[in-house]
Amino acid sequence: KQWYQRRVAITAGEYKSYLRSMASQNGNSLHFDNSSPFVNFGTDAAHHGSDPDKWDFKPIVPPISLSTTFKQPAPGQPPVYDYSRAGNPTRTAFEECIAKLEGGKYCVATSSGLAATMLLVNTLKAGDHILCCDDVYGGTNRYFNRVVSNFGIEITMCDPTDLEKFKSNLRDNTTMIWIETPTNPTMKICDIAGVVEIVKKRYEGKQVPKVIADNTFSTPYFQRPLELGADCSINSVTKYINGHTDVVMGVISTNNKEFYDKLTFLIMAVGPCPSPFDCYLALRGVRTLHLRMRQHETNSLAVGRWLEKHPRVSKVIHPGLPSHPQHELAKRQMKGFSGMLSFIIDGGKEEATLFLQSLKVCYDSCICAS
């Protein structure tokens, strides 16, 4: 209360220092080293895009607009929306919220994370080349190498931790750089700003490839790829952003108006739009993202530290642990760490299967999917 009275508008860094000093005075040990410095994140998550003044009846919670079509005063003159595949009031509220949280200007919501990936690939043409990190979500890997490659688009998979090797795989026809950080499932950290710098220098005076960063494992609470120079940040809303295991959705955020317009055209032309009800649920879920991510970080670090001491565990991979080979890069690029970690136990497939079948709290379906 005294702090609040002295200065209402405080920065996240000052608040962090204040909490540390209070904890020290009280004899407590609190972990605030990786607290998010993105000012007003929780407030924006709760309110941005949900302004009651958008509607005549001033609802605090945006309504679920289920209408597929909207009245027009004259043919071809929609006041805002015409057909729900192209746009929807509930969807707009969610998209505005995510754009704000990502530090971007625009957002496009899709029916799944892979639908967002497909939408981005639909901006390319036969003869183009995608340079993708070699450790990537299995669905992305499958889509690139078993679907996209059939349409004349070339795919190269490369270790994102070796920037020189990454640079050597760039081609004249490279039109998209696909990075995922941390990667799924080996938790590699890709230097987003480093990749962006390499790409800009390599294609100076030419058409610069779009740098796409999959931010699913970090979420915008702990990492903002757009602020590090990426053209687009993509998230599978299904995971942390919704956070309740009851919605399948994806989002693409960008600051590029021209590219955003292309994506909104493709939403209408290709059709991977989310339902209004899913948008309502995801908007509800994102309101607690900041609270959930803090606890995910606390839990995963506690589990990771415990596993590192276990005699049957040969390796723990968590970017928040000093044992991670890119721990320093992770600390510079990220503002904290999510609940994701990988570890290797003694034995082979039989032992790993037995371990998963023996879990009492976590369920093996998601772990096996990774």
Per residue in 250-309, pLDDT (tens digit) is: 999 999 999 999 999 999 999 999 999 999 999 999 999 999 999 999 999 999 999 999
Element (H, E) at 210: strand 210-214
Which residues participate in catalysis according to the annotation? 85, 137, 214, 239
Residue 143 has pLDDT above 90, yes or no: yes
Residues 6+ apart with CB under 8 A from 321: 301, 304, 305, 308, 327
Query: Collapsing DSSP states into helix, strand and coil, what is residue 283?
Result: helix
Per DSSP (E only), the strands in 136-199 are 154-158, 174-180
Cis peptide before 185 (omega within 30 of 0): yes
Per-residue pLDDT tens digits for 311-338? 999 999 999 999 999 999 999 999 999 9
Beta bridge partners of 232: 212, 254
Average pLDDT value for the chain:
90
Tell me how far apart the alpha carbons of residues 283 and 277 are, in angstroms, rounded to a whole number: 10
Give residue-wise pLDDT tens across range 96-130: 999 999 999 999 999 999 999 999 999 999 999 99
pLDDT exceeds 50 at position 31: no
Q: What's the first-to-final CA gap in the chain, in angstroms?
A: 45
What torsion, rounded to 10 degrees, do the Cα atoms 95, 214, 127, 207 define?
80
Q: What is the mean pLDDT of residues 13-40?
A: 53
Residue 7, φ and ψ in degrees, nearest 5: -160, 110
CA 341 vs CA 205, 223, 326: distances in Å: 41, 17, 14
Q: Token digits for 347?
A: 């034995």
- C-beta separation of 182 from 326 below 8 A: no
Report the predicted TM-score, pTM, of the whole model to 2 decimal places. 0.89
Q: pLDDT at position 361, please? A: 82
pLDDT at 134 over 80: yes
**32-36: long-range pairs with CB below 8 Å, 24+:** 34/222, 34/297, 34/320, 34/331, 34/334, 34/335, 34/336, 34/337, 35/294, 35/335, 35/336, 36/12, 36/221, 36/222, 36/290, 36/293, 36/335, 36/336
pLDDT at 14: 57
Backbone phi, psi, residue 129, to 5°: -130, 135
- Whether the per-residue pLDDT at 83 is higher than 80: the answer is yes
Q: What is the pLDDT of residue 110?
A: 98
Residues 6+ apart with CB under 8 A from 52: 58, 59, 60
100 Rama sector, left if φ>0, alpha if ψ -120 to 50, beta otherwise: alpha
| Side chain identity at residue 210, one-letter code | K
**Residue 72: DSSP 8-state:** -
Per DSSP bridges, beta strands 232-236 and 174-180 are unpaired
What pLDDT is stored for residue 240 in this prediction? 97
**Alpha-carbon span 173 to 188, nearest angstrom:** 26
